[in-house]
Amino acid sequence: MKPCARCVHFRRVKSPSQLIAAAIQDVTTGAEVANALAKIVDDEQKVREAEVDIKSKQGTAEREHWPSRPLMSEYCGLREQDEIYFICELKNRVKCDDFKDPPAERHACSDCAHRVAAQGRVHDQAMQASYVRLIKSAVAVQGSSQSSQGMLDSHRSGVVARKALEIAGAYSSKGWLLSKPEYFDYCARYSTPDEFAVCVLRNSHHTCAAWVASAPAPAGNAAELLTGKPGPL
């Protein structure tokens, strides 16, 4: 019997908290974001314990698959495109005829044509830069910068609150947001005007069957790509 961990269909545990933290990147920007992630970590432990119980009951009933995709347990992804997730230990308890050596083709959202990149951070940075310019202009003419500083502080606070809310929503919905994400990339192929598939949670193992290679990025420096005009060399 070959171990499941060496099979191309094996799906290791990738905790939502780590996936979300990696996607958000700048998680240290505020207590609300940190608290949102901490709540997810606490919930993950409860999910892990519940999945242990589910696995035991499925084994007793001689059922080889999970009722739904597990969050905190490994699984066999042989038929995951059909939303069938096998329990590794049960499917491979004697001999698995579906064993296949890796590597498999990597179908990551990061280089897929269906990925829609999050624009929240770019927008936030642009707004912050605008407020900073107002503050500097006020200081330069020896005027009051209190109003501009207040707007900057309010903007920063709002950013943290929106990130925390989006993090909590993405986790609780298992990667299906009802409004367009600001801080998570989403998949145009599986999204609708009323529901958006969060890439990092829906394709955490880079195995999406709808993956299409994205076109190469156009040549040019960052300034030219953002403005459409030649930037400094």
pLDDT score, position 215: 86
**How many whole angstroms from its chain centre is CA 191?**
14
Token readout for 52 is: 């242990």
Interatomic CA distance for residues 154 and 131, integer angstroms: 11
pLDDT score, position 217: 67
* Three-state DSSP state, 21: helix
- For CA atoms 62, 64, 67, 72, give the dihedral sign: positive
pLDDT score, position 104: 83
pTM of the model: 0.84
pLDDT score, position 42: 97
Is 44:21 a contact under the CB 8 Å cutoff?
Answer: no
Q: What angle do CA 34, 208, 173 make, to 5 degrees?
A: 40
Q: What Å distances lie between residue 77 and 63, 85, 87, 117, 165, CA to CA? A: 16, 6, 9, 26, 31
78-90 pLDDT, tens digit per residue, is: 999 999 999 999 9
Burial of 200 (C-beta count, 10 Å sphere; 0-12/13-18/19+): buried
Residues of the chain with pLDDT under 70: 26-29, 217-233
Quick one: DSSP state of residue 206?
Answer: S
80-130 pLDDT, tens digit per residue, is: 999 999 999 999 998 899 999 988 899 999 999 999 999 999 999 999 999
Quick one: DSSP state of residue 103?
Answer: P
pLDDT score, position 230: 41
Q: For 184, left (φ over 0), alpha (ψ -120 to 50), or beta?
A: beta
pLDDT score, position 95: 87
Edge-to-edge strands, sheet with 85-86: 10-11, 75-76, 85-86, 65-66
pLDDT score, position 46: 97
pLDDT score, position 219: 62
Of 103, 85, 114, 121, nearest in space to 199 by CA: 114
